[in-house]
Amino acid sequence: MRLSQFHLATVKEVPADAEIASHRLMLRAGMIRRLASGLYTWSPLGLRVLRKVERIVREEMDRAGAIELLMPSIQPKELWEETGRWEKFGGQLLKIKDRKQQEFCYGPTHEEVITDFARNELKSYKQLPINFYQIQTKFRDEIRPRFGVMRAREFLMKDAYSFHLSQESLAETYAAMYQAYVRVFTRLGLTFRAVQADSGAIGGHGSHEFQVLADSGEDTIAFSDGSDYAANLEKAEARAPTASRPAATAPLQKVDTPTQKTIASLASFLGISPRQCLKTLLVRGVNGVVALCLRGDHELNEVKAGKLAELPGAPVLASEEEILAACGTRPGFIGPLGLPDSIPVIVDRDAALMADFVCGGNTYGTHYTGANWDRDTRISRITDLRNVVEGDASPDGHGTLHIARGIEVGHVFQLGQKYAEALHATVIDESGKAQLMTMGCYGIGISRIVAAAIEQRHDAAGIIWPEAMTPWRVAVCVINPKNASAAVNDAAEALYQALSQRGIETVLDDRGLRPGNMFADMELIGIPHRVVVSERGLAAGTLEYRGREESESRTVSQDELFALLA
RNA sequence: CGGGGUAUAGCUCAGUCUGGUAGAGCGUUGCGUUUGGGACGCAAAAGUCGGGGGUUCGAAUCCCUCUACCCCGACCA
């Protein structure tokens, strides 16, 4: 590509509300332009990168035996009513009407459509297993779109859906998809982790997320330094403590804590560590409120709590009125001692090992010190309720957990029969009977990968593309082409041709900008290799090369350059 | 959904409190000087001040209203 024939549109300034590096750099490099909230145009430059990612994903899906198709982005209401998701999906579902007032949605995902396709197309067990995928634009009406294409409303996604007659067959395809994803992210040159994920309300047997590690990530993941164990924080199990509870030694005493409503203020007021305090949360349960107890330095894991039989779903903290009615005090002074028997006291495994602890006094402005389980108060149930923290033992018994931030770019999921059941997707088995199919689904956020890669790989000058994603591998920069001798321009042109003929994607910067502008642009848009052609070098018969991550350029011959790029 | 903020030149933003000639930087166009790390000079084009309504002799500025966009929050005791 000759840049003089391209539309490169870098800018110096970006809106103050572009907060994260990838968003700012994509705007500055001119990869995307915002059309409306959560909607972006991909410029020619941005599209080159997006297509690179798409291509690698497509190649690896094909290699893993998935078959590409393309479903409509607009989907009829009736299909979504069959699975009950027309109502259940919530505000993220963009609903639209046609001229006849028929209702549709812009597809946020395609389980309904693919299952409808499968129930019509697949008749016999002999057609299974089969795995269909598409690369399609999706729309989710996010509450708060932000960070550019990272959390946009319209985005490009690869989604695959596999169909099986047995769990074993599903497990095989699941494993193949997992391996395909490992290949995709490895080829893209990204630092990532495959982590165990919570399979959510849908149920199912297995789920892994592929997380690109980046400090700005919206997800928190835990991984072991002594094994392959890695899990989303939501899912990560806090290993059962092996120690036993120390004996009670302190007498139970009530102390005045007039303003100490938080663990932090309580601990500093009493001169103790937060881990000697007990945190008691009152949440809405199936029948009245439920008390959840954690060590003061731990945090409630909402996913774990949401699975408790005593709770109707994700935990919702009780209101001040409910708390006053249930235990006669206000937030900040709640404790398990003396709670009515009707309130279950569910205690985290680590909190259950506390002795001589501090907890709320259940009257305004007081706490107990020297409190002890059994002696002073009851426990209804002991379970894992907390988020793991840095330094916890890995739940598989090998190594120590570390916490990192990640950007979810892929998700593989054993769906089971939820959609097949709702849509009656069956095939005839060997004995001639209709059998519900079992499904898996596998997503990759193509457009999000572009942002995630930049998030992981950039410096003060701009983007640093991995070779697999870069719009061009090499930039040939001509110094002062308008006034240089014909020999300089000819040499640049010849080098550009030679590189292109070797199959190396090359961009020739023949715009005639001043060198500083040209170099800054090439660094901003992240081209991995830069070659400068000038009078100076031409006289010596050499080229000047600089890698994107190198701080100094070096002199090379043309052959050395080709070897470098081979 | 609740709270807050913003909307002025292609872009990034001043100007609004205290009503009186529409501003800057960057970018763009032209001319000239420059030419190895975001050059310099001169000249120029470019704005229904988000839309509508009101107050006023006079509104970017005050009031009402609508729209769009952004941020924070949705309760960890």
ipTM of the modeled complex: 0.90
The phi and psi torsions of A211 (rounded to 5 degrees) equal -115, 125
Domain A14-237+403-454: CATH superfamily, name plus number: Bira Bifunctional Protein; Domain 2 (3.30.930.10)
Q: Are the C-beta atoms of residues A359 and A278 closer than 8 Å to each other?
A: yes
Which residues face A40 on adjacent strands? A34
Cβ contact A88 with chain B strand, < 7 A: no
Cβ contact A441 with chain B strand, < 7 A: no
- Protein chain A, residues 357-386, with a C-beta closer than 7 Å to any atom of nucleic acid strand B: 360
Per-residue confidence (pLDDT) for residue A174, from 0 to 100 = 95
Per-residue confidence (pLDDT) for residue A16, from 0 to 100 = 75
Cβ contact A480 with chain B strand, < 7 A: yes
Cis bond upstream, residue A528 (ω within 30): no
Per-residue confidence (pLDDT) for residue A202, from 0 to 100 = 47
Cβ contact A319 with chain B strand, < 7 A: yes
How many CA atoms are closer than 13 Å to the CA of A166, on its beta-carbon side?
A: 7
Per-residue confidence (pLDDT) for residue A457, from 0 to 100 = 94
8-state DSSP, A315: -
Q: Which fold has domain A253-383?
A: YbaK protein (3.90.960)
Per-residue confidence (pLDDT) for residue A338, from 0 to 100 = 86
Q: Are the C-beta atoms of residues A473 and A1 closer than 8 Å to each other?
A: no
Cα–Cα distance for residue pair A152/A140, rounded to 1 Å: 8
Beta strands in A269-361 (DSSP E): 278-284, 289-295, 345-348, 357-360
Q: Are the C-beta atoms of residues A545 and A537 closer than 8 Å to each other?
A: no
- Token pair, residue A212, equals 């690109």
Which amino acid, A511?
R
Cβ contact A153 with chain B strand, < 7 A: no
Cβ contact A427 with chain B strand, < 7 A: no
Mention every residue, 6+ apart, whose C-beta is less than 8 A from residue A514: none
Per-residue confidence (pLDDT) for residue A316, from 0 to 100 = 82
Cβ contact A234 with chain B strand, < 7 A: no
Cα–Cα distance for residue pair A212/A227, rounded to 1 Å: 19
Strand (E) or helix (H) holding A461 = none
A282 CA: nearest nucleotide by C1': B77
Cα–Cα distance for residue pair A418/A436, rounded to 1 Å: 10
Q: Are the C-beta atoms of residues A543 and A565 closer than 8 Å to each other?
A: no
CA A519 to C1' B38, in angstroms, rounded, equals 9
Cα–Cα distance for residue pair A335/A277, rounded to 1 Å: 10
Cβ contact A333 with chain B strand, < 7 A: yes
CA A158 to C1' B53, in angstroms, rounded, equals 50
Cβ contact A336 with chain B strand, < 7 A: no
Which residues face A457 on adjacent strands? none
3-class SS at A522? helix
Residue nearest to nucleotide B39 (CA to C1'): A514
3-class SS at A451? helix
Cβ contact A325 with chain B strand, < 7 A: no
Domain A474-565 has CATH 3.40.50.740: no
Cβ contact A519 with chain B strand, < 7 A: yes
CA A354 to C1' B63, in angstroms, rounded, equals 63
Cβ contact A270 with chain B strand, < 7 A: no
Q: Angle at the Cα of A324 (from A319 to A329), degrees rounded to 5? A: 115
CA A14 to C1' B63, in angstroms, rounded, equals 34
Residue nearest to nucleotide B77 (CA to C1'): A332
The burial class, CB within 10 Å (0-12 / 13-18 / 19+), for A504 is middle
**Domains in chain A: boundaries:** 14-237+403-454, 253-383, 474-565
Spatial CA neighbour of A173 closest among A61, A318, A11: A61
CA A209 to C1' B73, in angstroms, rounded, equals 28
- Protein chain A, residues 108-147, with a C-beta closer than 7 Å to any atom of nucleic acid strand B: 143-146
- The CA-atom distances, in angstroms, between A17 and each of A219, A297, A450, A455 are 21, 34, 20, 17
Chain B bases near protein CB atoms (7 A cut-off): 1, 11-13, 25-27, 34-39, 68-77
Question: What is the DSSP secondary-structure string of A67-134?
Answer: EE----SEEEHHHHHHHTHHHHTGGGSEEEE-TT--EEEE-S--HHHHHHHHHHH--BGGG-SEEEEE
- Protein chain A, residues 161-200, with a C-beta closer than 7 Å to any atom of nucleic acid strand B: none
Per-residue confidence (pLDDT) for residue A336, from 0 to 100 = 92
Neighbour-count burial for A251-265, b at 16+ CB within 10 Å, e otherwise: eeeebebeebbebee
Per-residue pLDDT of chain A (566 residues; tens, 9 = 90+): 999 999 999 998 887 778 889 999 999 999 999 888 899 999 999 999 999 999 999 999 999 999 999 999 999 999 999 999 998 888 889 998 888 989 999 999 999 999 999 999 999 999 999 999 999 999 998 888 888 999 899 999 999 999 999 999 999 999 999 999 999 999 999 999 999 887 654 444 588 999 999 988 888 899 999 998 889 888 888 888 888 999 999 999 999 988 888 888 888 899 999 999 999 998 888 888 899 999 999 988 888 888 888 888 778 888 777 888 888 888 888 899 988 888 999 999 999 999 999 999 988 889 999 999 999 999 999 999 999 998 999 988 999 999 999 999 999 999 999 999 999 999 999 999 999 999 999 999 999 999 999 999 999 999 999 999 999 999 999 999 888 888 999 999 999 999 999 999 999 999 999 999 999 999 999 999 999 999 888 888 899 999 999 999 999 999 999 999 98
CA A16 to C1' B20, in angstroms, rounded, equals 33
